[in-house]
Structure 1
Amino acid sequence: MELSNDQIDYIQKDINYRGIVLEDLEEELLDHVCTLVEERISSGEKFIDAYDSVIKSFGSEQEIQQVQNQTLILSNNNAKIMFKNYFKIAVRSLSKHKFYSFINVSGLAVGLACCMLIALFVGDELSYDSYHAKKDRVFRIVRHGSFNGNELHFAVNPAPLAQALSDELPEVESVVRFRRRGSFMVSIDGMTESFKENRLIFSDADFFSIFSIPVIKGNPESALKDPMSVAISKSTASKYFGTQDPLGKTITLDSDEEYHVTAVYDDMPVNSHLQFDFLMSMSSLEESKNNEWLSNNFFTYFLLKEGVDPDAFEEKLNEMTRRHLEPEIMAYIGKSLEEFEAAGNYVVFNIQSLDDIYLYSNFIFDIGPTGDITYVYLFSAVAMFILVIACINFMNLSTARSSNRAKEVGVRKVLGSFRSHLIKQFLLETILLCLVAFVIAIALASMAIPFFNDLSGKAMEIPLSSPIFYGVILLCALFIGLLAGVYPAFFLSAFKPINVLKGKLALGTGSSLIRSGLVIFQFFISILLIIATATVYQQLSFIQNKKLGFSKDQVLIIGDAYMLNDKVDPFKKEIEQIPNVTSATVSGYLPVHGYNRSDISFWEDGQEPRQDNMVNMQIWRVDENYISTLGMELVDGRDFNEEMASDSDAIILNEAAFKAYGFKKISDANSLLTFQFDGETGAVSKDVYDKYNVIGVVKDFHFESMKENIGPVGLALGRSTSMISAKFATEDIQSVLASVENTWKKFAPELPFNYSFLDSDFGTMYKTEKRLANVFTIFSGLAVFIGCLGLFALAAFMAEQRTKEIGIRKVLGASVGGIVFMLSKEFSKLIIVAFVIAAPLAWWASSQWLNNYSYKVEIGFGLYLFAGLTAFVIAWLTVGYQSIKAARSNPVNSLRNE
C-alpha cells in the first residue's frame, strides 16, 4: 500500500524534529523509511505503529546519525572513484542505446551549429564601427521633414551646415563632410587601361582626427587640406603603384582630373559602414562652397567635446538651423517659418550616434552599406528557438528511456546508491552528450560557414584558434547539459525502489502533461517559422510579378557611357543596328534604386511660388527613346519628338505628378516653373526660373522599392550620359552581349566594358528579403527536423508505456490500422493545439512585417492551412513509424512477463 502525501509529510517533519537526519541524506533516509513503512502497512499494521517500529529498528538516534556520518565520509573519500565509475557507466549506457544516443547527439549538434552560425552573424552585425577610439562622441546629422504632404527623410544635409557647426556651436570639436559623386575611371601615368572604381568619396580635412583609420604614409592632419589631393587605402596603393612610394604620385580620374596622393591609410575594416579606397579633398569641389540651406547633398559627421549631453546639443542644433532656414523659406515661398509649420510642414535636424548608423538607418540614399536591427532580433530569436527545441528534444528522449532504466534505478537504490549519486550519474551523461554534441556542432558549423557566408553576404570564420572560444564552448556545454538534464535526472532518481521492483511504476499525468506541452511548443515554433517563410516568399513573388509600369526584362544597361564624350550618340546609333536590339536610350535615370535621382519643387505658370502650390518632384533627364525603350505607357498626350525644337522645354509627368497639380487632362495642363539650378555648384537661383511645357502623362511606374509609395516624377529632355540602356528581343543573350561589347571596344578600346541587366538590378533592391526567405527556409526545416526528433521520442515513450495494452488489444482482435490510429490521434491533438496557438501570432507578425511595404500581397487563410497541414503530415509520418512498429509487434513478447 502506498503512503499518502499527508503521511509522507508527517514522516519528513518527524525525522527532522527528532534530529536523526543529516541534510545531505534526507532524501535517501525519507525514501528508505517510507518504503519500510509501506511494507509493514501491507502486512496489516496501522500507519503510526508501522512508523514507530521502523524508527526503533534503526537503533538510537545517535546510532542513526553515526551511520549517516560514516556514509558521508566514505562517499567523500571515494569521490574520485565514484566519478570514474559515473563516467564508465555513462559511456556504457550511451553505447548500449546507440540509436537514442545518436538522435540525442544529432539533435543537439544541429541546433548548436545553427546557434553558432547565427551568433557569429549577430556578433558581426553588432560590431560595426566599434573600433573607432572616439565612437561614443561621433555623431552624424540626419534631416526629417514634410512639405505639402510629402514626407522627406535624408541622411544628407546642406553644404553650409558643417561650417555653422564649427562657428556657432562650441560643443563641436571637429566636423567632416562627405560627398559621393558616383564611380570614376581611374588610371595613373604609364597605364594602358583604366579601372572603374566606385569606392571613392570627397571628404573634409578632419577625417583622420575623427575616425580611427591609421595613416601609414603621409601627414593625417594635412593630407586632405589642399585642392586636388587624395588619400588612398593600402590595397589601392599596392594595386596602382606596387612597391613604389605613392606619395606625390598623380592619379587621373575620368581621363581629365588629376589628384596628387598625399597619404596612404590602412584598409577600412569590413565591419564599417564607411567603405572607401579614395578620399578626395572636399576643397576640390566647387559645390562644397554652396551656401544654400535648402539643398541636401552632403553627409555631415561631427565629434562632440567630452562631457557634452547629446540631447541638449540636439536642441541647440535645431535652434541654429531654424535661424538659417527661415530667411531662405521666406525668399522662396514668402512665408515665415511659423507660417510654414502652421500649414503642416516641418524641418527637423536630428543627431545619430555612430553606433546606430549601421543598424538603425532607413534612408533611400545612404553613405554606405547598412543593416537592420530587426533582422538581428529576428535571427537571435530563431537561434534561441532552435536551441530551446533541441533542449526540449533532449529532455523528451531522456524521459522516454526512463521506463527502460527504472529497474536500474531501483536495483542501485537497494544496493545503497544515494539519490544524489543517481542525479550526478544522469547529469554526467547529459553533459557528456552535450560535449560530444558541441564537438560535432563545431565540425558542422565549420563545414557550413562558407555556405552561410554566401547566404548572409559576410566573410566570417569560426574562431578555432581562440582559447576564449573553447572556454565559452565548455561553459555552454556545462550549462546546456545541466539545463537539459536536470529534469530527467531528478525525475529518474525519484523512483521508489520497492515500486519499481514490484512493477508498480506509475509515471503519472504530470510528466505526461509536461512532455505534451514541450511537443506543442516545438511545433508551435515550427508552424510559426513555416508561415513566416511562406509569407516572405509570397511577398517576393508578388513583387516579381506585379506590373511595374515599365519593362525590366531583356534590357541591357551599359555603364560609363559618359567616358565616350562626343561619341555617345554614334555609339548608341550603332548598337541600335545590332540584330535583335529594338531600341536604345541614353540616361543615367533608371527606375531602379541606385541610379541618378534629382528632386526639385515646381509650381504652375502664372502663380507665385507658395507653400500650398509647390510640388516636390523628381526631374529625370532622358532622351526621346526613353519611354519606348523601357516599355512605359503613355496615358495622355504624346512622347518627345526630336524634330520639334520646342520639346527642349517639354516635360512628361507620371500620373502621381499630374494629380498632384490637380490637372484633369493634358489640354488643361499649365506649364510648370522651377528655380534655375546649377548642377556643378549646387546653387539655386531665387530670381530666374526654368519653364517646362507639359506634353504628356505616363502611367505610374515604380522607381524605388515597393516599401515606398510612387511619388511625382517628371521626364525632361536633357543630357545624362552615364548609362545607355538597350532593349533586345531574343533569348540568345550572349550573342547580343558579344556584339555590344565589340562595338564598345571599337569606340573605346582602352576602357573596360561594364554592363548589367535591368531585371538583375531590380532584384538587388530585394536582396534583404531574399536573404530572409532563404534563412527562414533553412532554419524552418531544421526546426521541424529537431521537433520531429522530439515527437519521435514521445511516440517511442508512449509505445513503450502501452506495450501490454497493445498486446491485449491485438489478442482481442484489434487491427494494425486501429492501433496505429489510437496511438497517433494523441499527437494529432498536440499539433492542432500548436496550430491554434501559432496561427494568430503568425498572422500578427506577418502583418507587422508586411506593413513595411506600401504595395503588399494579401495573405489568405490558405497559407495558414498549408502550414498546419505541412506540420500535421510531418508529425504523422514521424509518429507513424513508431506506431506501426508497436502495432506489428508480437503480443506474446509483451504479455509473457505478466
Structure 2
Amino acid sequence: MFNSYLRIGWRNLVKNKLFSVINISGMAISMTSFLIISLFVYDELKFDKHIEDVNLKYRIFNEHFREGRDFAIIPAVIAPTLAAEYPEVEYFTRFMNLYTPPLFEVRNKKFTEDKGGLADPSFFKMFSLELIEGNANNALKKPNEVGINKTLKEKYFGESSALGQSIKINGEDYNVTAVFEDFPKHTHLDFNYLIAMEELATARPDRMSDWGWSGMVTYIKLKPGTNTLLLESKIKDIARGKADEEDFYTPHLMPLKDVHLHAYNQSWDVARRGNIQTVYVLIATSIFILVIAILNFVNLSTARAVSRVKEVGLRKVVGAVRIQLIYQFISESVIIAFIALIIGVTLASAILPSLNSFADKDIPVHIFLEPQLVVALMSLAILTGIAAGSYPAFYISGFRPASILANRLSGGSESTLLRKGLVVLQFVLAFFLIVASLTVSQQYNYMRNTDMGFNKDNLIVLQLRGEMFERLETTKQTLVNHPNILSATLGYGLPGEAYAGETIKDKATNKEYSVSMLTADHDYVKTVGLELLAGRDFSKEIATDEQQAFILSESAIKMLGYDNPEDALQHEIDWQYGDSLKRGKVIGVVKDVQLNSMRESITPVVLHIFKSSYSSVTLRIKPTDVSTTLSHLKKSWSTLTAEWPFEYKFLDDNFDKMYKSEEKLNTLFSFFTGFAILVACVGLLGLVIYTTSQKYKEISIRKVLGAGEGTLVIQLAKNYMLLLCVAFFIAIPFSYYASWRWLQEFTYRISITPTLFIKAGLFIMVISLLTVGLQSLKAARANPVDALKEQ
C-alpha cells in the first residue's frame, strides 16, 4: 500500500508541474538555509567539549566597576589563594599572553613567533593536552623552560627529538621540556609555545602577590559536588578583603565550555571568540525560513483543494476511508520534502567551502555522508513533509462525496480566510527578518565608521627590536626619512593595541583613579590624529614636558571634576611607578579616544612621555604607492637590525579583528534573510498564479465590458497589498523589541527610528508588488476570447 501512495504521489507531482516546482524550490531553498546554519551552529557548540572533566572546570573573570566592563585577565594571586584556602578547588592554571612576539633561534633558523606566553605546569592537564615528548609532571617547572607544539617542533627540529634541546628566545637559552600536540580546532585557546610561569615569579615576585595588578587568564578545576554559587561568593569576599579598594573589581566564574560563545564582551582575552547572540539569531532565522516554506506548501495545497475534490469523491465512493486519503496526501508532501532535501544537500555542499573560508571553519563536505547525519536529514525530511502536509490532508480528505459529486464546493470562506492568515504570517516573519537584518547591518556600519577620536587609516606599526631600544631617535629618523611618510611616533599603547592600566592620584583631593595610560613622544598626538580641545601638545622646546606634563582625555578631566577642558589645564596629578613618583600638570586635553571595540565604554586616557616604556614606532603614511613605502621601511629596517626579521601591521587591521563577529553575523544574516524573502515570494507567486487562473473568466468578462489593464491589475493586487499592510502592523512591535534587545549588548549603538521599519516595509512591498503585479498584468493582457471559449 505504501508503494501505491508513493506511485500516485509521484504522478500528481508530474501532472501538476508548476505547483510542484514552486513547492519544491521553496522548500529546497529553506532546506539549504537550514542545513548551512545548522552546520555552523553545531560547529560553534562543539568548542571545548573534548576536554576531560570540562563540567568541573571554570575560568575566573573580573567585573571592573570603574571601567564598566569585564576583564578576562585577573590578578595572579587569586588562583593560588583559592587553592590554599578552599578545599573545593582541586587545582588551577594561569596563562599570561606575550603581546610582542619574541624571536626564536635554533641554529640558522630565526623566526618571530606569536600565539604564546607564560603558563603554569598544570596547563597541560587543565586542557587535556597530549604530550608527544616529555612528562607533564616535570615540564615548565623552572625559569628558562619552554614547551612547544608539534608544528614548532617540526619547524625547528624536523624529525629529531626536541626534548632537552635549546632554543634561544630573545637571545636567552631555553630548555625544551615538553612537546605537545597542536591545540584541537575546537578549543577556545590556540598556543604554539608555553614558557614556564616561574620565570615571571622569579623576575617580578611583586606582580605575583599584587591584588591590584591584572595580567593572568586563570582557570580552576573544582571537585565534584562543589556549590559554584557559594564558591563564587567566597571569591568575591576574598577580593573585597584583599584588594586596595573595595569596589575595584568583583571576580566571577564562567564554565570553561561557555568561554568561546559567552566571553565575547571580555577585554584582554586570548580566546578564539564566537558569539552566542550570533548562534541564537541564526537558529531563529533557519526556523523562520523553514516555517515560511511549510506555510507556502499549506497555502498552495489548500488553495488547490477544489481542483482535487472530485478525486477525493471518487476515491470515497469506491471505498477509500479518510485515513487512507490522509496517508496519500501526506506521502505526497513527504516526497516533495525528500526531493527538496536532495537539492538542499547539493546546494549546501556547494556553499560549504565558501562558508568555511568566510567563517574560519573546517567543516568537511563529506559530513553529509556520515550515518548519524543521514538519519537526521531523513528525519528532517519526514517531519517537514508531515508538518507541511498534515493540514491539507485533513482538510481535503474531509470533503463529503455527495457535495463533491453534486458540484456544490468552491473552496469555502473558511479556506480563503486560512490562506489569507498564512500569507500574513509568512510576511510577518519575512518583515521581522528584514528589520533584524537592517539593524545588524546599520550597527555594524556604525561601529566601523563612527568617529573613535583618532584617525586609524594609513597607520603602520613596527615593534622596536634589539638595539633599536638604545637608539630611539636614530631609529625614528631613519624610518621617517621618506617623502611617503608623513610623521612618526614612539610609544607604548595604541588604540586597538596593548596599553597599560594604571592609577593616577589627584593632587588636590589625594584620591586615586584608574586610567588607561599611553606613553608617547612629542609627535604622538599629530601622528595618531588625536583632536586637541584645550591647551597644547608636547613640545621639544619645553624641557619640563618629559618629566612634568600630562595630556588627558575628556573622560579623564570629567573624572577629576571638570566639565570645561580649559578649566582642567594646570591641574596637578601624580603617577607612582615602582619606587619612583612622576608629578606633573595637565598641559592639554584631547577628545575622547576609543581604545577598544565600540561594544565597550570609553575609558579615561592619560598620555605622557616615558621613554623607558617605548615598545613600538607608529608611522602615518600616504595612502598612495604603499608598496614603495614598505620597500623603504624594509630597507631601513635592515640597517637598524640584522638580527630581527622585518614585520609590520596596519593599525586598522586590529579593528577588523574586533568586529569579526559582527561582520560574520551581518553577512550571514543578510544572506539568509534574502533566502527568506525569496521563499516567501515564491509562495506568493504560486498563490497568485492559482488565484488568477481561478478568476480567468471573470477577468475576461471585465475586459470585454471595458475594464483597462491597470484597473484589472489593481483589482487583483489590492487584496495582497492589504494583507501585507496587516503583516507590517503585526510585525512592528515584535521587530522593535527584538532589535532593541539585541542592541543592549553594545555600549554605543544606533537608535531605532521609524525609518528602519519604513525601509523594510517598502522593500518587501516592492518585491511583492513585482511578484503580484507581473503575474496580474499577464492575466489582464490575455485574450478574453480564449477564456470565454472554455466550458
Q: With structure 2 as the length reference, what TM-score do the two structures score?
A: 0.94
Is the counterpart of residue 181 in structure 1 residue 181 in structure 2? no
User: SS at 2:74's partner residue?
Assistant: coil
C-alpha distance in 2, partners of 1:379/1:703? Answer: 30
Q: Once structures 1 and 2 are overlaid, which stretch shifts more, 815-824 or 750-759?
A: 750-759
1:648 aligns with 2:546: yes
1:4-32 alpha-carbon deviations (Å, 9 max, x no partner): xxxxxxxxxxxxxxxxxxxxxxxxxxxxx
Cα separation, 1, equivalents of 2:322 and 2:56: 58
Rounded to whole Å, the distance in 2 between the matches of 1:752 and 1:399 is 71
Q: Could you tell me which residue of structure 2 aligns to residue 196 of structure 1?
A: 112
| Structure 2 Cα separation of the partners of residues 754 and 862 of structure 1 | 46
Cα distance change, pair 654–204 in 1 and its aligned pair in 2 (3 A): same
2:521: which partner in 1? 623
Residue 538 of structure 1: which of 434, 438, 442 is its match? 442
Partner of 1:119: 38
Q: Is the aligned partner of 1:489 residue 2:393?
A: yes
Q: Could you tell me how far 1:635 is from its partner in structure 2?
A: 2.2
2: distance between equivalents of 1:264 and 1:202?
15
**Is residue 156–residue 299 contact of structure 1 (8 Å, CA) maintained in 2?**
yes
SS in 2 for 1:704: coil
TM-superposed deviation, 1:222: 1.3
Cα offset, 1:896, TM superposition = 4.4
With 303-312 and 182-191 compared, the bigger mean Cα shift is at: 182-191
Matches within 5 A, 1:16-415: 82-147=1-66, 150-151=67-68, 153-192=70-109, 194-254=110-170, 256-285=171-200, 286-287=203-204, 290-325=208-243, 328-329=244-245, 345=247, 347-361=249-263, 362-415=265-318
Partner residue in 2 for 1:460: 363
**Alignment match, 1:774:** 667
Counterpart mapping for 1:820-839 below 5 A: 820-839=713-732
CA contact (8 A) 2:47 2:187 kept: yes
| 1:163, distance to aligned residue in structure 2 (A) | 2.1
How far is 1:839 from its partner?
2.1
Deviation at 1:398, TM superposition (A): 2.5
- Contact 1:218–1:262 under 8 Å retained in 2: yes
2:588 to 696, 708, 721: 696
- Where does residue 802 of structure 1 map in the other structure? 695
CA RMSD of aligned residues (A): 2.3
Partner in structure 2 of residue 59 of structure 1: none
Q: Distance in 2 between matches of 1:465 and 1:221?
A: 42
Higher mean displacement: 689-698 or 708-717: 689-698
Structure 1, unmatched stretches of 5+, are: 1-81, 330-339, 678-684
SS of 1:366's partner is coil
Are the equivalent residues in 1 in contact too, given 2:166–2:173 (CA < 8 A)?
yes
Q: Determine helix, strand or coil for the equivalent of 1:791.
A: helix
CA gap 1:491/1:768 in 2 versus in 1, 3 angstroms = same
The 1:211/1:855 distance shift into structure 2, 3 A limit, reads: closer
Report the residue type matching 2:577 in the other structure.
Q
Which deviations, in whole Å up to 9, do the C-alpha atoms of 1:378-429 show, x marking residues without a partner? 1110111011111112222333333333333333333333333322222111
Instruction: Supply the distance in 2 between the matched residues of 1:562 and 1:749 (Cα, whole angstroms).
Output: 9
Residues 590-621 of structure 1 deviation map (CA, whole Å, 9 limit, x = unaligned): 122xx1221222123365x4xxx222111111
> One-letter code of the match for 1:811?
V
- How far 1:805 sits from its partner (Å)? 2.5
The equivalent of 1:79 in structure 2 is none
Q: Is the 8 A contact 1:159 1:288 kept in 2?
A: no
Alignment partner, residue 770 of structure 2: 877
CA offset at residue 623 of structure 1? 1.2
1:886 aligns with 2:779: yes
- Which residue of the other structure, out of 768, 782, 788, is the alignment partner of 2:681? 788
d(CA) in 1 for partners of 2:17 and 2:457? 56
Partners of 2:28 and 2:732 lie apart in 1 by 29
Question: Does the 8 Å contact 2:519/2:614 carry over to 1?
Answer: no
Distance in 2 (alpha carbons) for counterparts of 1:544 and 1:466: 41
Aligned-partner Cα distance in 2 for 1:822–1:357: 57
Counterpart CA distance in 1 for 2:69 and 2:320 is 74
Q: Distance in 1 between matches of 2:99 and 2:360?
A: 23
Partner secondary structure for residue 421 of structure 2: helix
Instruction: Choose 389-398 or 444-453, whichever is displaced more.
Output: 389-398
Deviation at 1:152, TM superposition (A): 5.2
- CA spacing shift, 1:689–1:725, aligned 2, 3 Å: closer
* CA distance in structure 1 between the aligned counterparts of 2:632 and 2:722, rounded to whole angstroms: 64
Compute the displacement of 1:114 (Å): 0.9
Q: Does structure 1 conserve the Cα–Cα contact (< 8 Å) formed by 2:23 and 2:683?
A: no
Corresponding residue of 2:462: 558
**Equivalent in the alignment of 1:41:** none
Distance in 2 (alpha carbons) for counterparts of 1:848 and 1:561: 47
Partners of 2:532 and 2:725 in 1: CA distance: 53
How many residues get paired?
A: 782
Change beyond 3 A, Cα 1:606–1:501: closer
1:586 is the counterpart of 2:517: no
| TM-score, normalised with respect to structure 1 | 0.83
SS of 1:358's equivalent? helix
1:718 lines up with 2:610 in the alignment: yes
1:430 shift after superposition? 1.1
Structure 1 SS opposite 2:65: strand
1:573-612 alignment, distance < 5 Å: 573-592=477-496, 595-605=497-507, 607=509, 609=510
For residues 563 and 504 of structure 1, the distance between their equivalents in structure 2, rounded to whole angstroms, comes to: 98
Structure possessing the higher radius of gyration over alpha carbons: 1
- Say which is worse superposed, 137-146 or 788-797, in terms of deviation: 137-146
Residue 662 (structure 1) aligned with residue 568 (structure 2): no
Gaps of at least 5 residues in structure 2 are none
Q: Which moved more, 1:536-545 or 1:97-106?
A: 536-545
Cα gap change, 1:698 to 1:561, in 2 (>3 Å): farther
1:885 shift after superposition = 3.0
Aligned-pair CA distance for 1:481: 0.8
Matches of 2:253 and 2:623 in 1, distance apart?
51
Question: SS in structure 1 opposite 2:544?
Answer: helix
What SS is found at the alignment partner of 2:706?
Answer: coil
Query: Which stretch of the first structure deviates more once superposed, 156-165 or 466-475?
Result: 156-165
Alignment partner, residue 671 of structure 1: 572
Query: Which residue of 433, 443, 450 maps to 2:336?
Result: 433
Residue 589 (structure 1) shift: 1.3
Match of 1:506 in 2: 410
Decide whether aligned partners of structure 1 residues 836 and 152 sit closer, same or farther in structure 2, where only a CA change above 3 A counts: closer
Q: Is the 8 A contact 1:637 1:666 kept in 2?
A: no
**Displacement of 1:202 after TM fit?**
1.0
Secondary structure of 1:237's aligned partner: helix
Q: Is the 8 A contact 1:172 1:303 kept in 2?
A: yes
Matches of 1:401 and 1:99, distance apart in 2: 12
- Which of 860, 867, 873 is the equivalent residue of 2:760? 867
Deviates more, 1:569-578 or 1:124-133: 569-578
> 1:454 Cα deviation (Å)?
3.1
Cα distance, 1:606–1:427 mapped onto 2, change above 3 Å = closer
Match of 1:634 among 524, 532, 556: 532
Check the 8 A contact 2:466/2:641 in 1, yes or no.
Answer: no
| Residues 1:813 and 2:732 are matched in the alignment | no
Q: CA deviation at 1:98?
A: 2.3
Tell me if the contact between 1:400 and 1:796 (Cα under 8 Å) persists in the aligned partners. Answer: no
The amino acid across from 1:114 in the alignment is S
Residue type of the partner of 2:275? D
1:523 corresponds to which of 424, 427, 433? 427
CA–CA distance in 2 between the matches of 1:531 and 1:792?
A: 23
The separation in 1 between residues aligned to 2:227 and 2:749, in whole angstroms, is 42
Instruction: Tell me how far apart the structure 1 counterparts of residues 361 and 731 of structure 2 sit (CA, whole Å).
Output: 32
Equivalent position SS for 1:833: helix
